[in-house]
Amino acid sequence: MANLKAIRKRITSVKSTQKITRAMKMVAGARLNRAQQRIVAMRPYAQKVSDILTEVVRAIGAGGLEASGLEEVHPLLARRPEKKVLFLVITSDRGLCGAFNTNINKRAEALWKAKVAEGVDVQFATIGRRGRDYFRRRSAPSFQEFEGVWEDLNLGQARRIARALLQPFLSGEVDAIYLIYNEFKSAMTQQVISRPLLPLADMGAAAAGENGAAGQGGAEHEGEPSPEYIFEPSKASIFERLVPMYIEITLLRALYDSVASELGARMTAMDSATKNAADMISRLTLSYNRQRQAVITTELIEIIAGSEALQT
């Protein structure tokens, strides 16, 4: 009987857990719809800003940045040999979302080791407690830990992060900044992205990757002629406005993608947990019924044996 009582308690416990995972799945699904709408609404704008700035950089001509003088126009276009780099790793504050955080942390750690093997000094800026704790345990060089980003996510947060990242690049403390986060593909699929954020001279390849990833995000079709731009009033004023806007929008888009990816991963993980709980309840119920039947059978045998003993 003691074993039967333990199984009953186990079944009750698993049923309670199943209710929690089912509720978490429903909450994540409801929030995911809003997050998807936010991404869909922002992607065309973000893609157009990226396309325009890419074309402006491309319009510099075959002479390069130095020949055009645009390096003097905006220091964020300056390309330096990579001796010191900064990784901005975007993770979540909470767990229970499958391999969402693990995939990002492992990719960042692999890139860290690769850069160190090349003789490059690496520093980390983290968004989210999961990434912060992961690299703290590995004694990774920390540049800054951005707190409270997910509590009130908006353009102001992206602007705050952008200003904090631009300062070491402009002062020459770091030669490049890389962005590592999960890009949202669907509720079932999230892809870890590692792309250069600065210098902007590297943005051509990154923009090409975004075009392929965004799908209907507004990229130009292959074979179509590139638009021609007229700079009014001047290239300098255009860059002074476009460059900070591009950095902020790129960061905000990555943050939105990360939120949607986290919700999709949590919904998928909670769905799997709910199904696993149902399977476990089924197995425990079967085991309970078998043991209960065995106890009843044993009692019947004892009763019959006792009755026959009294008759003899």
- Tokens 């002062």 locate to 171
Question: What six digits make up the tokens of 286?
Answer: 């079967």
Residues of the chain with pLDDT under 50: 61-69, 71, 73, 204-222
CA distance 83 to 226: 35
What is the spatial distance between Cα 231 and Cα 220, in angstroms, rounded to a whole number? Answer: 21
Domain with CATH 1.10.287 in the chain: 2-16+273-311
Q: What phi, psi does 218 have (nearest 5°)? A: 110, 10
Q: Contact 166/74 with Cβ under 8 angstroms?
A: no
Alpha-helical (H) ranges within 59-127 are 64-68, 70-73, 100-117
C-beta separation of 21 from 277 below 8 A: yes
Q: Please choose, from the candidates 77, 30, 218, the residue with its C-alpha nearest in 3D space to the C-alpha of residue 68.
A: 77
Homologous superfamily assigned to 26-267: ATP synthase, F1 complex, gamma subunit (3.40.1380.10)
Q: Which residues pair with 193 in a beta bridge?
A: 181
Distance CA 22, CA 160 (A): 36
97 is catalytic: yes
CATH of the domain spanning 2-16+273-311: 1.10.287
Closest by CA to 126, choosing from 170, 92, 102, 172, is 92
pTM of the entire predicted model: 0.78
Q: Give rounded-to-5 percent helix, strand, coil for the chain.
A: 65, 10, 25
User: Which tokens go with 247?
Assistant: 């950095």
* Six token digits for residue 298: 């044993």
- Which residues have C-beta within 8 Å of that of residue 56, sequence separation ≥ 6? 229, 231, 235, 238, 239, 242
Query: DSSP character for 258?
Result: H
Which pLDDT belongs to residue 209?
A: 46
Q: Is 258 exposed, middle or buried (0-12, 13-18, 19+ CB in 10 A)?
A: buried
The angle at the Cα of 276, spanning 272 to 16, to the nearest 5 degrees, equals 100
Residue limits of CATH 3.40.1380.10 in the chain: 26-267
Q: List the structure tokens of 265.
A: 């991963």
CA 137: distance to chain centroid?
Answer: 20
Q: Report the amino acid identity of residue 28.
A: A
Considering 97, 161, 165, 243, which one is annotated as catalytic? 97
Q: For the segment 273-310, what is each residue's pLDDT rounded down to a tens digit? A: 999 999 999 999 998 888 888 888 888 887 888 777 77
